Chains A and B, each alone.
Chain A
Amino acid sequence: MTNALLQNALVAGTFIAIACGLVGWFAVLRAQVFAADALSHFAFTGAIVGLALGFDARVGLFVFTIGCALLLAALGGRSRVDDLTIGIAITWVLGLGVLALAFFATSSAGSGGASAATALFGSILGLNASQADAAALIGVGITLLMLLIARPLLFSSLDPAVARARGVPVVFLGVLFLLALGGVAAEATQAVGALLLLGLVAAPAGAAHRLTAHPYRGMLLSAGIGVLAVWLGLWIANAFPNIPPSTAITAVAAAAFLGAGAPAALRRRPRVSGRRPTPHERSGRPETDAP
């Protein structure tokens, strides 16, 4: 592996990890990790649909993913889109992907499976300089967007009813968040692969939520753990050429998630027979609308 490729991977990976960390922190807060997962599947389908229709795969992927993010928002209506709706949407969109794959496999000489594999697993070490710059730019853009809406989004995620009453545009913020999620999914899928996206969205954010309840500290921690996972993972993949970089990065991030659970588990043990949690705490999600 040449130095330039590693440099590109570091640049792209760092900025994607920061964006994923911030978006992921809110995804965990809002219990919407499934939406991120779904959007990465949509990105993958979008790439295939784009190829089947003869577009550039990247254009197809972005248009399709953003469109699907809007669709998820519309399906959710005024409240957060629930897991069942996402599940049905995934099933149907993947069905479309199968059809597109069949078209693609018959219309081109390339094997559909091989292109599906690159879309699934991307390759963080296969980026050229301009792709890395594009990934970094989109990462910065999404990071800025998240920082801009962090405060009202936090309010509307924690207590939608009160936020609505105080004039916060709860529905609009939810749509904006799904769009940011779609942007991250589309960018990460084509640059580093759908697999890495889920690892970078779920694991660092989950670890941060386990470690601190303080919002801004948590966001910082989440982005930091993501960046650290990318750096450590790339180093591991560099040292052991048998291990794919995606696997190494995901493993580091998952280890952080596991490790973050340890102190809480130790702290919780002594007061197992403490007070009973209130129903509000039990349900876990601050949302008021019934499932």
Chain B
Amino acid sequence: MSNPTLSWNLVSDVRELLAFPFMVQALAAGTIAAILSGVLGWYMVLRRQTFAGHTLSAMSFPGAAGGALFGLPGALGYYIACILAALAMSPRGTSRRGAAGLQSARIGVVQAVGLAAGFLFLSLSSEILGGLDDLLFGSFLGITPSQVVVLAIVAILVLAALAVIGRPLLFASLDPELAQSLGVPVRTLEIGFMLLLGLAVAATTQVTGALLVFALLVTPPATAQRLTARPGWSLVLSVGCALLVIWSSLGAAYFSVYPLGFFTTSIGFAIYLLALGGTALTRRHAQAQPV
């Protein structure tokens, strides 16, 4: 492969990019991951469950190490670890005083136990620690077509399930007390959402790495919710932002020597800062010139 160089002709650049099957697969996987995390992340940010999402993405480590130790087929370990963590983190008895603090302690304990288990699996399997970089930071070079297919199936299942519970979940997220009193099964929805989030994170992490999924899961929804308060538009914007981040960073990573994770996080952060600055400016403008 000749060293790729960026020309000013964007069309020929894109054509060069798409000439390689591995880039096409990376783009396909990235697109699915972006849609999945744009939607699930939107709910996660709305529900202020960033810590839980972060813990789920850390579960890729025990998932991979456990899968290697017990000889599970690659992806299964991820799913098991994420589902177990999601169940362990589901809040119970949220009505007591100090529940927020205890909930954050519980999530911290789940993460610590998960990492500790991963470390144990790793030392038991007595394998040399290889591929840790890929595990944490993702590699978009080795994505196989079958991985893309599995990712697509999981994405369709998760999104379909979310389409069913989406509206009541939105209600339960915005006003849990009112929703509960109107007969919405708030607790079931909470557990269901954690499970879906776990599945989405597990599916995305094995393709994109633990860091990248978090970059797609948090920054685009936060940007979208900054920009508009209307749920529908915000959701669309969140997915759009995630797609923009993954496409541009895949392109940038292809044409440079620096890793994909750096571009994903930085581009996402830059967009968030732009949104932050933009809303602050318009707010000041609106204050200065009262109608």
Contact = CB atoms under 8 A, between A and B. Distances in A.
Contact of B177 (A30, A114, A282): A282
B116 A246 contact: yes
A220 interface: no
B120 interface: yes
A101 B137 contact: yes
Contact of A199 (B49, B109, B129, B130): B109
A101 B96 CA distance: 44
B94 A284 contact: yes
B50 A83 contact: yes
Nearest to A117: B129
Contact of A257 (B99, B105, B116, B222): B105
Interface stretch (A4-12, A86-94, A179-187): A86-94
**Chain A at the B interface: mostly helix, strand, loop or mixed?**
helix
A291 B97 CA distance: 18
B112 A254 contact: yes
Given A113-B132, A277-B95, A95 B269 contact: yes
A33 B107 contact: yes
A2 interface: no
A222 to B, nearest CB: 10
Nearest to A208: B105
Contacts of A285: 100-101
B265 A95 contact: yes
Contacts of A253: 109, 112
B262 A113 contact: no
Contact of B51 (A29, A83, A91, A199): A83
**Chain B at the A interface: mostly helix, strand, loop or mixed?**
helix
How many residues of B sit at the interface, in one of the four size bands? 35 or more
Most buried by A among B104, B258, B262: B104
Contacts of A37: 51, 54, 108, 111
A231 interface: no
Interface string B120-132: 1001100001111
B106 interface: yes
Interface in B249-280: 257-259, 261-262, 264-266, 268-269, 272
Given A88-B222, A95-B264, A281 B95 contact: yes
Interface in B203-226: 211, 214-215, 218-219, 222
A201 B99 contact: no
A30 to B, nearest CB: 7
B241 interface: no
Contacts of B264: 95
A33 B265 contact: no
Interface in A208-222: 209-210, 213
A99 B106 contact: no
B152 interface: no
B48 to A, nearest CB: 6
A84 B45 contact: yes
A242 interface: yes
A253 B111 CA distance: 13
Contact of A87 (B53, B109, B113): B53
B254 to A, nearest CB: 15
B112 A28 contact: no
A165 to B, nearest CB: 22
A99 B259 contact: yes
A99 B252 CA distance: 14
A117 B104 CA distance: 26
B263 to A, nearest CB: 8
Contact of B130 (A113, A201, A282): A113
Contacts of A94: 211, 214, 261, 265
Interface in B33-70: 45, 48-51, 53-54
Contact of B112 (A92, A114, A250): A250
Contacts of B117: 247
19 contacts: A28-B104, A37-B54, A83-B51, A84-B45, A86-B50, A87-B50, A94-B211, A112-B133, A202-B111, A209-B98, A210-B102, A242-B123, A247-B117, A250-B113, A251-B116, A282-B95, A284-B96, A284-B98, A284-B100
Interchain residue pairs A-B with the least CB separation, the first 9: A95-B265, A202-B108, A206-B105, A87-B50, A199-B112, A284-B100, A284-B99, A250-B116, A33-B104
